Every structure is written in C-alpha cells, then in structure tokens.
Structure 1
C-alpha cells in the first residue's frame, strides 16, 4: 500500500498564470505570474498577502471555481486543465469545502438545509444527510439553530454553519477565504480554533488571509505579493495523520461515475420542487403577481370556450325545436331573361318525396286570415300544410290531435291553434271541439299546440293544405315545398338529387332551395370558430403571463447570482442549476393553471346561475392547463439556461 511520501501531492501547481482581459481590444492584465506550489494531504497552509496580491484569484483556481490561463494544476496527480464543467463540479463537491468571508449562505434556506446543500448534489438520501447535518451543527454548537435562516443568526454562527457545510461531504480540502474578516474578535478566535481542530483531525486546510497574525496560526505560511510567491516557510509535511482523501489510484473512474450518476431522477425532481417552493414562498407577493397573468389566461380560455360552446348548442337546440336541423324548403323562383315567375305543384311534391334521404315532403302555403271566436275578431297567421306538419316542425300538442291524411283527402275544415291564439280567443279554456270562423268559413278546433317559445310558432293556426287552397286562400299552388331529411350529413347530395329531379320535370331551373341543415351547420361552425377566436384572444394573456414569468425569472437570476455561485461552489452541475430555475418557472405556471381552472369553473357556475348557456369542456380545461405549463417551460428555459452558464467565480462576486 502506498504511504504518504510515495503518493502524489494532493495539489501541485507548476508555472500557473492567470490573466484577465485581452479580448475585444481590451488590454490583458496578468494577475498570477508563474506560481509553483505543492500542498500535501493533511497540511494546514496559510496563503497571506495584501489586497490585490492575487491570493483570492489563487484560491479560486485551487477550488476549481476559475481556470488558469497557463500552467499546470494537478489534483491528486491528475491534470485538471482539461476537465469539463460537470467534472469540475464533481471535484468541488467531493474534494473541497468553502468557508467565505461573507459566509455565502442561501438566505431562503435554514441552517440545516444550507449545510445539506453539498449532499443534495451528491445524491445522498434525505434521512442520511439530515442526520449528518444535525450532527455537524451539534458538533459546532448550533444543534438548536438548525431551523433558523441566516438572517436569524449572528456572524459567528453563520460562519460555523458555513464550516459545517464545508464538512458535509467529508471536507477533504477546506478553503477558507478570510474566514475571520467579517467577525468580531471573539468569534474570530472561535473560528480559528475550529480550523485548527479540523487540521488536527487530518483535514487539509488552506487559509487565505491578509492578516499575518491569523496566518501565523497555520503550520505553513506561503506569502504572495504581486502574483508571485515570495516566501514559503513552515512544515512541508503534515504533522497529523491526513484524513482519508480521494483514492488516487481510481480517481478518474470515480469521477466518471460521479459525473454520470448522481441522485435518481425522482430525487432530483423532489429536491428541485422543494427548493423551488421555498424560494417562491419567501418571495410570495412577487410570485402572486407573476401568477395573475397565467390565472387570467387559463380562466378566460375555459370560460370563453364554455360560453361559446353553450351558445352554439343553444342555437342548435332552438333550431331543432322547429326541425330546422333536418329541414329545408323549395320555393318558386324567376327564370328566363324576362324574369318569369314559376310555380310549384302537388305533382312536384310527389317527385321530391321519392328522392333518396327525403323523410317528409309536403306542400306549404301561408297567409293571413280573419279569425272569429267568442265574439272576438282578429287577423292571424294561417299556415297550411300536409298531415305530417307536426313531425316536420317538431311540434308538440298540449291538447287534442293534429289533422290526419284522411282530413286532407276529404278537405276537412279542421284547425289546430297555436298557444298564443288559443289563449287570446279562449282565455285558457279548452278550445278542442269548439268552432271558429276563418274568413267566414266555420272550422272545428281539433288541437292546441304546446308552447314553442318562438312567436312564429305560437301565434298561428294550422289547417290542411287542401282545405286552405280550395276554401280559404283560393290558390292550388304551394308557396313552398317543405322537406325533412333522414340524415343531415347527406344534405348536399340530397339537394343535388332533388334539383336534378325537378329540372327534369320543369325543363328549367325555376326554383330555389333554402338549405336549413347546411345553414345550421355553417352557423354552428361559425359559432365554433368564434369560440376558438375568443379562446385565442384569451390565450394572449397566457403569452403575456409567460413573458411575465420570463421577466421575473431573469430578475431572479440577477438577484440570486450569488446564490447560483454558492450552489456551484458546493458542487451543483450546470444541469442542476438549469433544472432548479425551470422547476420554479413551471411551478409558477402549474399553480397558476390550477387556480385558473378553479376560477374558470366558479365563473362558469355563476354564469349558469344567470341563465347564460355554458357547457364546460374537459378538453378545453386540459388544453388551457397544458398551455399554461408549456408557457412556464418555454419562457423559463432562457433564464434557466442563462443561470446555468454563469461562471462560478463571477457568480460568487455578484450581489
């Protein structure tokens, strides 16, 4: 087994240089000028220098937060200059623990969850990391403070939380950047005592400081000035047994496995959801404002599509009440250059009746007649038709019966009264069996129509066509041929067939067809298109809501730049950061979508109570909700991608 002296140094820098600038015409400024430094596992090293000497830049490179411009950096014998971003993230997570001057705790998380962050990205089970975080906090005297957020802790307590976080994944190498700089003297003494204790336990401690008195507490002091090492004194070997470090013999295999496999996808999603909820809850007022666009959009789509569908169905029901969805009519038309007016005959009725898909074909003639009953005279609308008129118009009878084919054949003087006419002349009495005069011709009332709700259907009297043409209106020609079809979907072919039959009979097209089923279909399609148009207009608010989400998330990236840097420093991969921000955006849209669906249903119920025709559609609800989620995903992607691509060292310096 390799001993400490035979193993490669833990950290070995050779000719390390770091420059900034040199792009887009900017001058290049070199900060580090050929640093050569070797640090073995278990050493307690202080890197000391004045402000601007390059010590913080060196620490960022040592901790894999930044890359050198030139030179070689070997960690555990491996040159890390070619490591990808996820490989560097794994190295930060497994090898390093950071203790910063400004503590760098995530403000939305309590002390326990701040300590657990590195273990989250390492895929440690929840129970295990909670137990370890609690044990570390108790070890550092913060056992009762695990549920406190950073703002509820003193500076010394926050720094101890950051030390516990540095130890969470083992803390092989602890990089402490001015750990006492923001503390009072007593807290500073306590933190240094902790670092010495960790060094005695075998952890590799690299202390960055400008204070010679603090540096003197380390076992080895490296002095840096103007980007060069000017002094290296003290122990070059650890005095205590080093803590178990990364296995140098299987380093690359271990890293490849760690990069490829973290926590399960379910655990990743659960962690992302939990973190997103905490973050959004802390900024709940702003989150609520962001939700409004999604809520309004989803509710509007649901309500407008429900109202549009309800209006369309209501229209079809009203048309169906008079048989309009299956009925069409043929009327005489002009023909020839002299505009001659044609006529229709009962022979035409018989021809039409033989056309395939025709259920009913009957002559129809309307006019006005003077009606007298119970010493009351009034002009009323007279409808004359065949005995199947009630079925054609979808009429119901309140009393009595409709006239029959036998009544037609014997030119019977029988009449059926509409509801309004019956109430006007008989004042609620049963008119069946009574006699009335139509243009001075006595007629026996045989039936009363049920109320249709339409003025034309209630304010009329109906008699057989044969009786009207010979005894009341005085014309043998039907004004229309009313036709009812079996299947309205075949209406176009039916119109073509009867047109052909009548042209063969008349030798000229001297008639016109009023196609009610086609018109009903067109009106229904127009209503559907209008409903969709309204839904699209409402959907604009979803887009506006999505833009609001993107705007808020872009602001969040800017405001939480340091948090992103902290997460990267503790081992978050780019995809972890991207997943976190996408999850927050999708969570906002999901919550907004759910609230929007509920509000849409409530508004719909209120409209129903106000007798507005409303028909809810599960498909519309799913569509609106799905669009809301997709909106969050699409508009949240760009901010999430921007957050994931931040440079860790730049992010840590952000405000």
Structure 2
C-alpha cells in the first residue's frame, strides 16, 4: 500500500466575493473550489473569460486571499501567514508568467530577471551570473541589455519565464502565457514549459485555449466559478516533494536581514537614478525647489552672520565687555558717593573683573611753541589701549611704572598730533599742559568717537597719577571708572558682583551708578542674530515648497508605476521593501538637490564677496540646510511611499 503524499497545494471550499461595500452589489466569482495539486504536476486550468480562472490563479499564487474556505500549502494553512510569509511564498516557491509579460519598462532584460533575487538578498555577482545563464539558456544571450520595448513578444515572454525561474521557480503560475503571441512563439513557449515540467517543476497553466490546455498532463475545466471537469482527479500523481519544497516551513539558513537590506538598498539606489534619468525634465524641476531652498538658506545665513560679525567687530572697538561706574547721590538722600582707591582695589580682586581703569578728564589749555588749544586731557592708567582695543601708531604708550612714579609723559590723539606738529614726528617734544610740561612719547591710531561723544582723536592722554598730582590737583576721586569683565559671557554677573561689593563697603548706600555698555552691545548683537535667523526662516520657505514638490512628484511616480509595484510584489517584495524603494528615491532626489544647493551657495557666496559683501559661511548652517533637505525628503516622501507599500498586488498588477 502506497502511503499518501501530502499535496503541494490543497484548496477546500474556496469562495471569492467582490463588492458589498458602500451599497455595491455582492458578486461571487468562485463558488466552493476544491482542488489538490501535487508536486511535479503539469496542470492546465481552462475556462472562458469571466469563468474565475484568473481569480483562482491569484489565490493560488498568494496575490489575493479567498473570502472563505481553506488554502493549504504543503499542509500549512495560508490564512495564518502574515504579509511577510506570503511574500516569502511568492519569492521562493512561486514564479509568475503573465499574458502581458509584466516587465519593468525601465529595466534591461537581465535586470528584470534579477528582481526576485534582489528581494531574496542574493549577492549581485551571483544574481548577475544566474540571470545571464537563464537568458542564455532561453536563447536571449545577445539580448540581455535590451529594454522590454526592444524585444519581441516572444522574447519578452521568455524573459518573464527566466524571471519566474530566478529563485528556483518550483511552481510556475502562467496566466495566458501564449495569449499575446503568434503561433510560432506560442509553440516555443509551450516547449519551454514541457522542458520545465520534465525537470520537475510544478506547472499551473491558466488558459482559455483548449488546444493549449490539451498539452498539459492534467486539465481542469472551470465554469462560472466552479470546477466542472478534472482529467487527473481519479489518478492523482503521487510524486515525491522536491528537496527545495520538502522542508519549506522548517527554519533554514536564510540571508541575514542586513544582507537583504544591503542588496535592496543597492537596487533602490540604482532604480532611483534610472528613474531620475528617464524623467529628466520633471526631475530637474523638482530638484530646482530643493536647490534654491538649500542655497538660499545657506547664503541668507552667511549674509546675516557676516553683517552681525561686522557690527560686532565695529562694536568691539568700543569694548564688548566694558562697564562704566561713577559716584552719585543716593535716591534716599545724603552726600555724593566717593569711589576711593581702596574701592577700586577691592573691585580688581573680583574674579569676574579683568581690568579697572579710573579716569579724570576735562578741557585744559595745552601749548606748544606758539600754538595754544583747549584740549580734553584724558588721565587714565596704562590699561587704556587694551580696554579700548586701540593701538599706538607711533612711539609707545606709558607703563604702569611711569604711572606709579608720576612720570610727566603724554600720548597724543591723531588729530592733536596734526594740530600741534603737522607732519613732523612729535616724539620727544614737550607740551605744556596747564602749567606742567609733559614729554610726548607716542601717537595713537586714528579712531573717531564712540556713540556721538567727543572724538578720541582730539584728546591727549596722560598717566592717571601724574594727572592727579600735576594737572587735576583738586580732584579727590575719578570722574568715572571703566571696568572690563573677564568675558562677554559674564558681564551681567560682573555687574552684580561689583554692585554687591560696593553696597557692602558703602554701608548699603547705593551712592554709585554702573552703566553696562557691554549689555547694550550684546543686545545689539542679539538683534542682529535674530535678524539672521529670520532671514534663514524666510529662505527655508522655499525649501518647504521644494519638499511639497518632492511629494507631488513621488505621488505621480507611484501612480505611473502602479504596475511595477505589482510586479515587485508578485516577485516577493514585502511592504517594507516597497516603502524603502520609494523612500530611497525621494531621498536621492533631496540629497542630490541638497548637494547641488551647497555648491550653488558657494558660487553665490564667492560672487557676493567679490562685490564687497561680508559673507561668513557657517558649517552649522550648511549642515542644517542639508539636513533639512534630507528630512524634507524623508517626511514628504513617506506618504507616497506608504501609499505604494499598501497597494493590493492584484489591483497594482492590473494598473497602467
């Protein structure tokens, strides 16, 4: 007694209905199909148009699911399989041959054949070799690089057969494979099926042509959604299960997910570049939005940063860490506060303060030879050039030792040098300041005025202690004190520390005032920074428009390539594979646009710099603009990609 062999495919009471939604009438296409197909059979399912044979093929190939009934593949209930397991069945067990060939038009013959192997994670060298061998075996060795439109119908059908065999093709599902061919090409295709059947492949042929069906070894007739005849039902073939399918559901050594993803990503990138080349005009228009967006963000930020740094440099000459302090009458009443030398010494010890400079200044009569002028005589210590970021043009500035020893030396402002000495060098000459002679030791660079005050170029500078002893004998305290914070980051902390120190020293009497020039300058810089950010945000609008363009193009691409999506699903692509395919294409678009935008921004920056505009390109702005372009591609490409991934394989295959 021969032990029964488990059927490769078994259908029990399979029904398929359409409609029933939104009031649409219910149409039942299949009415309780019972069918067993064993490994190695060559079966023809024959019937007229509308008999349900194509619907039956879609269910057999796991492209569609029945409304009710049971489908067992090698004893396992297909209804219990998830989407990825169904994709694996289509990828590793089935091979589809369609009447319309269903080849991807942008791919060559060899690339079409390779598609199932891509989703199986087969390395590129192996799949290239196998695809070439299959095409050579089918007489297409010289046509491997041809696109589908460059092949005859018979040649295209042979390419689709090669594709069906790429991953083994253990079960060939052929839907009207000779329907669109001439008689000679039809005979050649049928001869190929006979060879495959003899080699142990299971062939399921769907046809309306009884002469074609007669060439099969088992003929099943379907009419009005029911099987009305089966030539092999009485004598089911009891062929053993082929090795490739014998343990199909057992865990086997599969390619790692990383390897599969690597092959799919390589394929997605290649397909993306080809799609962009095929649709050059549309691609260029789409890229234009991204290019303009990225370039404008980078250039606007560079212009804004250049303006900000220019202003900061100009303000830097006034001191971005400077504060001014003087004695005042307290609001609670009482005498005017006095800033003593001991107060200033205590302020110098604060960690937030780097320099302290007391200042006495008034217009004094200054004479040289027969020239006598009223000049503002600025008495301060040796810190003045450092605190005001001001350099000596000629000679030198006085030292701390000269200040301490009451040395009668003077440094001239640029205008005073010209007023007293013209073009000759003043170094070594004597000026009479009030009634005291002072030796000229240097001349400052031309500077101008700060905030509309008297120009520094119209002043002369003498040591603070010498000024008190020789010129301003009546002064008991400085007119004001200039303080420099340790850095621009601590100006507010420095102000608070000075205030707290003096309040403690003056018995909680606020008989002094502190003017924070650094805070004012920082507020100006902050305003400039805000303007730069605003310019960047305005420019980013064009990047957003470019992203909308990407989404529009990807939606058009999904619509135009609906059949391609169906083909990829039929050959084993999972939903996440389709999602990755279209996301990759949108990312390639935006990355290309982003890189071109950076190049354009560089060219524009060079051009603007040549006409005298300050440009400061920021790495963070460049990286940010490029990153936004990539994120734009990801965000705006996701919806079209998800739409593609969620398509029904049968509906997609029927699309145009």
Q: Is the 8 A contact 1:76 1:246 kept in 2?
A: no
* Whole-Å separation in 1 of the counterparts to 2:383 and 2:86: 87
* Whole-Å separation in 2 of the counterparts to 1:396 and 1:16: 96
CA separation of 1:501 and 1:31: change in aligned 2, threshold 3 A: closer
**3-state SS of the aligned residue for 2:647?**
coil
**3-state SS of the aligned residue for 1:429?**
coil
Q: Quick check: 168-177 or 369-378, which moved more?
A: 369-378
2:484 is matched with: 484
* Whole-Å separation in 2 of the counterparts to 1:506 and 1:6: 110
Unaligned stretches of 5+ residues in structure 1: none
Q: Shift of the alpha carbon at 1:597?
A: 3.4
2:440 is matched with: 445
CA separation of 1:31 and 1:527: change in aligned 2, threshold 3 A: same
Task: Give per-residue Cα distances to partners, 1:433-463, cap 9 Å, x unaligned.
Answer: 3466779998653311134477844454334
2:654 aligned with 1:653: yes
Aligned length: 647
Quick one: which of 380, 386, 396 aligns to 1:401?
396
Structure 1 residues 2-401: aligned runs within 5 Å: 6-233=4-231, 244=242, 246-248=244-246, 250-254=247-251, 263-322=259-318, 324-331=319-326, 333=328, 336=331, 347-348=339-340, 350-355=342-347, 356-357=349-350, 358-366=353-361, 383-401=378-396
CA separation of 1:330 and 1:202: change in aligned 2, threshold 3 A: same
1:462 is matched with: 461
* Whole-Å separation in 1 of the counterparts to 2:29 and 2:292: 54
Q: Shift of the alpha carbon at 1:161?
A: 0.8
* Whole-Å separation in 2 of the counterparts to 1:240 and 1:507: 108
* Whole-Å separation in 1 of the counterparts to 2:581 and 2:369: 85
Please give the TM-score of this superposition, normalised by the length of structure 1: 0.85
Q: Is the 8 A contact 1:204 1:242 kept in 2?
A: no
* Whole-Å separation in 1 of the counterparts to 2:380 and 2:519: 23
CA separation of 1:388 and 1:630: change in aligned 2, threshold 3 A: closer
What's the RMSD between the two structures over aligned residues? 3.9
* Whole-Å separation in 2 of the counterparts to 1:653 and 1:403: 93
Quick one: which of 413, 417, 422 aligns to 1:422?
417
**3-state SS of the aligned residue for 2:248?**
helix
* Whole-Å separation in 2 of the counterparts to 1:13 and 1:544: 53
* Whole-Å separation in 2 of the counterparts to 1:10 and 1:39: 6
* Whole-Å separation in 1 of the counterparts to 2:56 and 2:562: 22
Q: Shift of the alpha carbon at 1:331?
A: 3.8
Q: Is the 8 A contact 1:349 1:363 kept in 2?
A: no
* Whole-Å separation in 1 of the counterparts to 2:346 and 2:332: 31
**3-state SS of the aligned residue for 1:253?**
coil
Q: Is the 8 A contact 2:118 2:263 kept in 1?
A: no
* Whole-Å separation in 1 of the counterparts to 2:92 and 2:462: 97
* Whole-Å separation in 1 of the counterparts to 2:553 and 2:155: 32
**3-state SS of the aligned residue for 2:10?**
strand
Q: Is the 8 A contact 1:349 1:361 kept in 2?
A: no
CA separation of 1:349 and 1:547: change in aligned 2, threshold 3 A: farther
Q: Shift of the alpha carbon at 1:353?
A: 3.3
CA separation of 1:506 and 1:244: change in aligned 2, threshold 3 A: closer
* Whole-Å separation in 2 of the counterparts to 1:263 and 1:465: 79
**3-state SS of the aligned residue for 1:325?**
coil
Structure 1 residues 624-635: aligned runs within 5 Å: 624-635=625-636
* Whole-Å separation in 2 of the counterparts to 1:361 and 1:127: 76
**3-state SS of the aligned residue for 1:247?**
helix
Q: Quick check: 591-600 or 87-96, which moved more?
A: 591-600
Please give the TM-score of this superposition, normalised by the length of structure 2: 0.85
Q: Is the 8 A contact 1:383 1:462 kept in 2?
A: yes
* Whole-Å separation in 2 of the counterparts to 1:496 and 1:240: 97
Quick one: which of 423, 428, 449 aligns to 1:433?
428
Task: Give per-residue Cα distances to partners, 1:580-612, cap 9 Å, x unaligned.
Answer: 222222232333333333334444444554554
Q: Is the 8 A contact 2:5 2:238 kept in 1?
A: no
Q: Shift of the alpha carbon at 1:282?
A: 2.8
CA separation of 1:372 and 1:146: change in aligned 2, threshold 3 A: farther
Q: Shift of the alpha carbon at 1:261?
A: 6.0
Task: Give per-residue Cα distances to partners, 1:65-123, cap 9 Å, x unaligned.
Answer: 11111122223333322222111111111221111121111122111010011122222
Q: Shift of the alpha carbon at 1:533?
A: 4.4
CA separation of 1:388 and 1:76: change in aligned 2, threshold 3 A: closer
Unaligned stretches of 5+ residues in structure 2: none
CA separation of 1:85 and 1:332: change in aligned 2, threshold 3 A: same
Q: Is the 8 A contact 1:201 1:242 kept in 2?
A: no
CA separation of 1:352 and 1:190: change in aligned 2, threshold 3 A: same
Q: Is the 8 A contact 1:42 1:238 kept in 2?
A: no
Q: Quick check: 121-130 or 355-364, which moved more?
A: 355-364
Q: Shift of the alpha carbon at 1:133?
A: 0.8
Q: Quick check: 459-468 or 220-229, which moved more?
A: 459-468
Q: Is the 8 A contact 1:110 1:149 kept in 2?
A: yes
